[in-house]
Amino acid sequence: MTWTRRIFLKESLAGWIALVIGPTAYGLIRRVLPPESGSVGRTSIIGKVDEFQVKTSKVVYFGREKVIIGRSRNGSFHAVSAVCTHLGCFVKFEEENDQDAFVCNCHNSKFDLEGVNLSGPAVAPLRQYKIEVVEAGVELSAISEPEAF
Ligand code: FES
């Protein structure tokens, strides 16, 4: 095959379409279809109870989602999305003025142990997860679908 200007332009256009349209279509499909993991009803054992120290936290993956597990001073477990609803920074578990809370590292949004936003620029709550101690260990489950931003 001899490369003519017409063939070159046609091949270039096909390559451009593959490079631009392909990822865009993939992104749209990923946004429309429900997440394959972390969906409602899914559960996962994330560790033994003694792996979670009181007044500390641990970040675990639940499917593709990062979830922060906080264990408050009374030993109860709390699980919320580790991704702040303001601009997507990670939150940490903090003990402040005798109150446990999740606080964002970037702009200091503060959330209660159920993920409800208390102060700061975040106007939406963190996604909450169900967490309970079962015979096999600490079990994490999704109780709602993630919010679309
Ligand atoms: S990203 Fe969390 S407060 Fe801004």
Q: Which residues pair with residue 117 across a beta bridge? A: 111
What is the model's pLDDT at position 30?
63
| pLDDT single digits (tens) 37-92 | 445 568 899 999 999 999 899 999 998 899 999 999 889 999 999 999 999 999 99
Q: What is the pLDDT of residue 37?
A: 47
122 CB under 6 A from ligand 1?
yes
**pLDDT attached to residue 21:** 81
So what's the pLDDT on residue 11?
A: 86
- For 43-142, which CATH class? mainly beta
Per-residue model confidence as pLDDT tens digits over 111-148? 999 999 999 999 999 999 999 999 999 999 988 655 54
Task: Calculate how far, in angstroms, residue 115's C-alpha sits from the geometric centre of ligand 1.
Answer: 14
pTM check: above 0.85: no
CA 118 – ligand 1 centroid, Å: 13
- Going by alpha carbons, the residue nearest to atom 4 of ligand 1 is 107
Tokens of 76: 């109860």
- Nearest-angstrom CA–CA distance, 143 and 130: 6
Q: Which stretch of DSSP H or E encloses residue 65?
A: strand 65-71
The reported pLDDT for the residue numbered 7 is: 85
The pLDDT tens digits of the residues spanning 15-43 come to: 888 888 877 877 777 666 655 544 556 88
Q: Residue 17, SS3? A: helix
What local confidence, expressed as pLDDT, does residue 57 receive? 94
For range 96-119, the mean pLDDT: 90
The pLDDT of residue 12 is 87
